[in-house]
Amino acid sequence: MIRARDVHVRYQRGAALAVSGVTFDLAPGKGLLLTGGHGSGKSSVLRAVLGLAGPGGDITVFGGPPGDPRALQRIGWAPQSWPFTYGIRAAEVATMVARLKGHGPAEAAAAMDEAGFTATAKLAPLLEIEESRQLSLACALIGTPDLLVLDDPWEFDETVAAVRRALDRGCAVLAASTDPGGLPGLLGASIQLAEGVPA
């Protein structure tokens, strides 16, 4: 599902590497947690897997290069903090993601329900941080993906249950967290990063 060898990420030409030397495999039904402090490179690895940050090294996702649209359709992405643009309502975020993935508002509503998110009428950038994490998770859960990529998922009951269900049905889960809590036990494997390299 994911094969990553010596992943390195550099955001600008001439800048220092944000990440280097990260190697891992992730098979269906398996989990992997990236841990480390702020700025350790966890999110950069996730972005490299998704093709959002131009990666170096050797990464294949579903047998193709990172960022391949067909592979991305099978991935549920939950970015960290408040990733939502000003002016958009929470329900519109989930509906947009659902439509772009070929689903409808019903799937968006089901994913929000699964993530325990209820503040659908609020403007998304004004959500509380807990609500923002839940909406982010809901976006990832839309359309029963084959790979969940979760950046800083908070350990709500709904999150744990959703991850467990995903693993049980053969979905792989790649997550990153500064404060992992019980996630290592749930996901099974972990890599600790410090200043962009495996510690």
Instruction: Give me the DSSP letters along 99-155.
Output: HHTT--HHHHHHHHHHTT---TTSBGGGS-HHHHHHHHHHHHHTT--SEEEEES---
Task: With beta carbons less than 8 A apart as the criterion, state whether 57 and 128 touch.
Answer: no
* Alpha helices, DSSP H, located in the chain: 42-50, 69-72, 90-100, 105-114, 129-141, 157-168, 183-187
Residues in contact with another protein, counted by CB under 8 A, come to a total of: 36
- What's the closest the beta carbon of residue 180 comes to another protein, in angstroms? 21
CA distances from 21 to 58, 109, 156, 191, 199 (A): 11, 40, 32, 12, 10
- What's the closest the beta carbon of residue 136 comes to another protein, in angstroms? 9
Q: Which C-beta is closer to another protein: that of 139 or that of 193?
A: 139
Contact pick of 101, 110, 119, 138 for another protein (by CB under 8 A):
101
At 19, phi and psi to the nearest 5? -145, 145
Contact pick of 69, 157, 168, 182 for another protein (by CB under 8 A):
69
116/68 Cα distance (integer angstroms): 30
What is the torsion angle, in degrees rounded to the nearest 10, for the CA atoms of residue 62, residue 97, residue 117 and residue 34? 30
Contact pick of 86, 121, 168, 182 for another protein (by CB under 8 A):
86
Subset of residues 102 to 161 that bind another protein, contact rule: CB under 8 A:
102, 123, 139
Q: Is 53 in the site for another protein (CB under 8 A)?
A: yes
Contact pick of 3, 29, 57, 92 for another protein (by CB under 8 A):
92
- What's the closest the beta carbon of residue 86 comes to another protein, in angstroms? 6
Subset of residues 19 to 38 that bind another protein, contact rule: CB under 8 A:
none
Q: Is 16 in the site for another protein (CB under 8 A)?
A: no
Q: Which C-beta is closer to another protein: that of 4 or that of 50?
A: 50
Binding site for another protein (CB under 8 A): 11, 43, 47, 50, 52-54, 69-75, 77, 79-89, 92-93, 96-97, 99-102, 123, 139
